[in-house]
Amino acid sequence: MQNILATMLQEGPNQNAAPAYIDNASVWRHMSDALHQSLYRVLSLLIAILPGILAFFVALAIFTVIGMIASAVLRRGLSWVRFDDHLARSRGNAEWTPATSPSALIARGSFWVCVLLGLIIGVSAFDASYASAATRPISLLPYLTHSVGAIFLLIAGSLIARFLARSVLIGAVNAHLQYARFLSLGVKWLVLVLTAAMVLDHLEVGGIVAELAFGILFGGIVLTLALAVGLGSRDLVSRSLESHVDRSGEHAVVPPNPPPTNGSESIRHF
Amino acid sequence: MAFEKLAGDPRKLQPLLPKFPGKVTMATANPISDIPTPSAPPITGLLVCLAPMPEEQLGSVLANLTSSFPAEDLVVATPDTFSTDSWPGIRFIPTPATNASWTLTASDFMHAHQLASENEARAILMLGPGSSSLRSSALRDLGNTVLDGSADLAVPCYDLPARAGLINSAILYPLSRALFASRVRFPLAVDLGLSRRMAERLAMGAQRFAATNQSEALIWPINEAAAAGLLTREVDVGPRATPQPSETDINAILASVTGSLFADIDAKAAFWQRPRFLPPPRGPVPFAPSTDAAADVAPMLDAFRLAYTNLQEIWSLVLPPNSLLGLKRLYVTDGAEFRMQDGLWARIVFDFLIAYRLRTINRGHLLGALIPLYLAWVASHINITVSGTNPERHIEAVAAAFEADKPYLVSRWRWPDRFNP
């Protein structure tokens, strides 16, 4: 079969059939060599960064253990010196908003600081081994730190959005506004959209496209709220404001003398 | 020894020794720099601390005071400037005015104690805004109660219209009675009679607020007296023109008053969790003439229904399923039939108090979420009184419900995670 092919492909009587066979073999060998080389490079890279991965996990584990020890020591130490009581006395009757005690917060915070340190050191170690092993000097560390910052931004933005939404909801309900929930949702999504834009900007994702999209979306939400409140619910707003003024007059009127017992009595909460 | 000398009969004081024999702190700075202070001030009978008021009202108050007490025994501290020629026997001392317009604040108690110490007063009579409407007999009874040593704290019982002082009727009085075993009808009275040691006790509490720049914070004299083991007596003073807050937003004021009381209860948890014996009532429940005029409860019911549809998720963080079910039944009740059960209201207040302590949600949000429920109670109270029930009898029933549910509060306070019906 090969002789027939060689004969068919033979260009001249003097041409030898052996080089075609040798070219095919060399093509396969070349392809095989290339595959082997690329596989070798991948394996070499993987082997080169394995120590970095191991260093990452070791650093994270060590600092987690350190964090647990520090948290336990701090918790016991602060409860031994009655830190919460001293702080409460020094702050008087000022409100302490978090649900957990100050000493528990400090202990928990110290643990997560140690974990974060372990993450940073582990990433540095991984980054160093990756940069040395890779042919191109690409460093992952700056992008990872940006990612951590973006995660913090996202968490903070979500918390602020939830707090503001609840504040607006309760305030609007007590102001007898029928569209209280709508207002609350609008405020929440305004803050969330702003947070998302900040996160994308921090990650340097999207560039000008993300900025434009945020501007259009934010402006659209604000315009929608303004139209809904100003035009669409104009009657509701005027009725709410009128009833609010009437109720303010009813609650805030301060008769200098005791009101007459006959006839109608106004409701006085104080 | 100083207390015995002032009281005149040391045997009277023997069973009344205070639990916290604190020192009498002298004022280190005299704010009245332009008034020459005598080197040895005479022992004064009664120091009267007045709130700012117009001159004609001030004249009326001074006339009532002079008709009730010997002028030579009086020292009147007032922030107003006026001609003292008409009152030759009374010694006047200026005092700085405070921003509070409707109640006594921490700075008032601090000033009163400081002036009492400087002038060696045996007792203090603090009169809030609008005190010209008080009769002279009321001032006499208040002053003599603390002058003769029969009580450390004299609290007036006002004769108010049926629909006045509703926050006091709904929250302040029932909580104070259930937790501190006090039948004082107006725990946040604007007029008080104080003994020297009561004034010192209140000044100590006020100094904590002043240290954190909260000089306008509220002080709860009933709670302080109960915690210190000092004697409290209620005095009938008749009708009074109660001052109203200058702040028109009832939501903010209700939140601040309720929040202040919740914080004080939280601070004194070790005291009120023990069983307390409630003294018997001074007399039969007074008959407050309930008006037949139907008050407009529709706005309050609308507020409650609006809050029910919007604040469900917030209320569900604070209230147990039983209370939420009770609120659901109220939601579907028509206006005239709207009645909130006394036990339901008691548990709602207790649950909010526990949530305040546990910081389940932000405290400002928590107190804001309580306002529609309070308005629902007001609407219910008005409906009950319009139907012919004596308002005072209903308020007493509410207070009794608070007393009956105190074990519920104690259980949830001690085991917040385990006991949640």
Would you say residue A134 has pLDDT above 50?
Answer: yes
Alpha-carbon span B177 to B223, nearest angstrom: 10
Asked if B241 lies within 8 A of A258 by C-beta distance, the reply is: yes
0.85 surpassed by complex ipTM: no
Give the one of B260, B299, B307 whose C-beta lies nearest to A173's C-beta: B307
> Is residue B385 situated within a structural domain?
yes
- If you measure CA to CA, which chain A residue comes closest to B208? A92
Which of residues B232, B248, B264 is at a domain's end? B248
Q: Is the minimum CB–CB distance between B27 and chain A shorter than 8 Å?
A: no
Would you say residue B26 has pLDDT above 80?
Answer: no
Residues of B in contact with A92 (CB under 8 A): 208-209, 211-212, 214
**Strand duo B153-158 + B121-127: pairing:** unpaired
Tens digit of each residue's pLDDT (9 = 90 or more) over B277-305: 888 887 777 666 555 556 688 999 999 99
Give the one of A97, A174, A257 whose C-beta lies nearest to B368's C-beta: A174
Residues B203 and B313 in one domain: no
Query: Cα dist. A126→A39, A45, A143, B243 in Å?
Result: 22, 13, 13, 71
Which of residues B214, B232, B248 is at a domain's end? B248
> Is residue B184 situated within a structural domain?
yes
Q: By 3-state DSSP, what share of chain B in percent is helix, strand and coil, each rounded to 5?
A: 50, 10, 40
Give the model's pLDDT for residue A252: 42
Asked if B368 lies within 8 A of A263 by C-beta distance, the reply is: no
Q: Is the minimum CB–CB distance between B256 and chain A shorter than 8 Å?
A: no
Least Cα distance to A202 among A159, A142, A158 occurs for: A142
The parent domain of residue B228 ranges over 40-248
CB B231 within 8 A of CB B152: yes
Scanning B361-380 for CB atoms below 8 A from A yields 361-365, 368-369, 371-372, 378
Least Cα distance to A88 among B223, B366, B212 occurs for: B212
Stronger pLDDT, B211 or B375, i.e. the higher one: B375
Give the model's pLDDT for residue A6: 56
B54 — phi, psi (to 5°)?
Answer: -60, 160
Scanning B137-176 for CB atoms below 8 A from A yields 160-168
Residues B112 and B238 in one domain: yes
Residues B220 and B321 in one domain: no
Which of residues B212, B231, B248 is at a domain's end? B248
pLDDT averaged over every residue in chain B: 84
Give the one of A98, A248, A255 whose C-beta lies nearest to B359's C-beta: A98
**What strand order describes the sheet that includes B153-158?**
B91-94, B74-78, B44-50, B121-127, B191-195, B153-158, B232-238
Residues B227 and B316 in one domain: no
A 10 A CB-CB count for B128 gives 23
Length of chain B: 421
Q: In sequence order, what are the residues at sequence separation of 6 or more whose Cβ sits closer than 8 angstroms to the Cβ of residue A228?
A: A179, A182
Asked if A170 lies within 8 A of B208 by C-beta distance, the reply is: no
Residues of A in contact with B386 (CB under 8 A): none
Would you say residue B235 has pLDDT above 60?
Answer: yes
Would you say residue B32 has pLDDT above 60?
Answer: no
Residue pointed to by tokens 């308005």: B375
Determine the average pLDDT of the residues in A81-99: 67
> Is residue B45 situated within a structural domain?
yes
Would you say residue B92 has pLDDT above 90?
Answer: no
Determine the average pLDDT of the residues in B131-143: 91
Asked if A170 lies within 8 A of B311 by C-beta distance, the reply is: yes
**Residue A52 has which token pair?**
């970095």
- Give residue A228's Cα distance to chain centre: 31
Give the model's pLDDT for residue A4: 57
Q: What is the CATH number of the domain that holds B174?
A: 3.90.550.10
Tens digit of each residue's pLDDT (9 = 90 or more) over A236-269: 667 767 766 766 655 444 333 444 444 445 788 8
Mutate one of B168, B172, B223, B244 to test the A interface: name it (highest A CB count within 10 A): B244
Number of domains chain B is built from: 2
Residues B229 and B160 in one domain: yes
Residues B50 and B163 in one domain: yes
**Residue B275 has which token pair?**
């069983």
Residues B317 and B243 in one domain: no
> Is residue B52 situated within a structural domain?
yes
Query: Cα dist. B76→A136, B44, B49, B94 in Å?
Result: 88, 11, 6, 8
Q: In sequence order, what are the residues at sequence separation of 6 or more whose Cβ sits closer than 8 angstroms to the Cβ of residue B373?
A: B304, B307, B327, B345, B348
> Is residue B288 situated within a structural domain?
no
Determine the average pLDDT of the residues in A201-210: 85
- If you measure CA to CA, which chain A residue comes closest to B363? A97
Residues of B in contact with A95 (CB under 8 A): 363
